[in-house]
A = this chain, B = another copy of it.
Amino acid sequence: MVPLNLLPDEKTADYIVTGEWAQYAYKELAKIGKKGNIAASSEADGFTHIPERSTWKLTNGAAYVHYTSNNTIYGTQFRELPDFGGSVAVCDMSSDFLSRPFDVTKFGVVYAGAQKNAGPAGATIVIIRKDLMEKPASKILPTMLNYKSIADKDSMLNTPPCYSIYICGLVFKWIENIGGLAKMDERNKKKAGFIYDAIDRSNGFYKGFAATRDRSLMNITFKLPSPELDEEFVKSAAAKDMIGLKGYRTVGGIRASVYNAHPLEGAEKLAQLMDEFCKSH
């Protein structure tokens, strides 16, 4: 939807490719007859890090620069808001939206599927600068993909996914009751901290997949000394009611996802198991 609405056929847009979803977003351009430029990519390094800002090659006059703030598969995250060099910033915030405060005025578009931190799958949240949707960039644009048409009808162009939206509302209230996004950030840093600390004090038994400075607070990826040990670790965790720890098939190893809803205790318990497992193996 972003290029159909924001990117005129004769212009280009910059893409920072830091993982599979970022790459899908870039590859989609060709399918809709648009042109884009990979301004930075960590693909050659297996997406183990976020390309340093100094290496980005932004295009003069690009319609926008698109990036994915958290990469669920690789466990990397933009820990700080990058300097967009005057470009309109478009962020796929699907997997870390609501996990920390962010300055919404720095963005042209923020979009996020509800299913990580906001509510049940089915709803997608879009925050867009009004002037950017006034005149859609594409002549061929189905109404259901037209931001302005949707906004003009207060997001009720079609019958909206009421249940997902209702639960998102309850989640927003829960976050406010807890103390807002600043508190949520504090909790998430603490949760991820338990697990990263266990990696770091293991003397190399656990190897973090992501570069230290780009470690995600949402998805913590690491490997044990062998795939057999990875498997044994997953089984040990399951025996203690900790499931879903197998890494994504293209990366392997272990992935611990600690989204907003994950309790502090769960992360602490996993870290304890990591210490024990390291000692006994």
- Residues of the B chain whose Cβ atoms lie less than 8 Å from the Cβ of A32: 140-142
User: Is A86 an interface residue, CB under 8 A from the partner?
Assistant: no
A33/B140 in contact, CB under 8 A: yes
Contact mask for chain A residues 216-244; partner B; CB cutoff 8 A; 1 contact, 0 none: 00000000000000000000000000000
Closest CB in chain B relative to A52 CB, distance in Å: 31
A142/B145 in contact, CB under 8 A: yes
Closest CB in chain B relative to A244 CB, distance in Å: 15
User: Is A44 an interface residue, CB under 8 A from the partner?
Assistant: no
- Residues of the B chain whose Cβ atoms lie less than 8 Å from the Cβ of A158: 113
A28/B162 in contact, CB under 8 A: no
- Residues of the B chain whose Cβ atoms lie less than 8 Å from the Cβ of A162: 120-122
User: In chain A between 17 and 50, which residues have their CB closer than 8 angstroms to a CB of chain B?
Assistant: 28, 31-33
- Residues of the B chain whose Cβ atoms lie less than 8 Å from the Cβ of A142: 1, 4, 28, 31-32, 145
The residue among A28, A33, A115, A122 with the most chain B CB atoms within 10 A of its own CB is: A122
Closest CB in chain B relative to A166 CB, distance in Å: 10
For chain A, give the interface size range. Answer: 20 to 34
| Copies of this chain, whole number | 2
A-B contacts, 6 listed (Cβ < 8 Å): A28-B143, A113-B159, A122-B160, A122-B163, A145-B145, A161-B164
Q: How far is the CA of A120 from the CA of B28 in the complex (A)?
A: 30
- Residues of the B chain whose Cβ atoms lie less than 8 Å from the Cβ of A28: 142-143
User: Is A153 an interface residue, CB under 8 A from the partner?
Assistant: no
B4/A121 in contact, CB under 8 A: no
Closest CB in chain B relative to A215 CB, distance in Å: 24
User: Is A139 an interface residue, CB under 8 A from the partner?
Assistant: yes
Contact mask for chain A residues 158-200; partner B; CB cutoff 8 A; 1 contact, 0 none: 1111111000000000000000000000000000000000000
Closest CB in chain B relative to A208 CB, distance in Å: 26
User: In chain A between 108 and 139, which residues have their CB closer than 8 angstroms to a CB of chain B?
Assistant: 113, 115, 120-123, 139
Closest CB in chain B relative to A120 CB, distance in Å: 5
| Chain B, Cβ-Cβ closest to A161 | B122
User: In chain A between 72 and 103, which residues have their CB closer than 8 angstroms to a CB of chain B?
Assistant: none
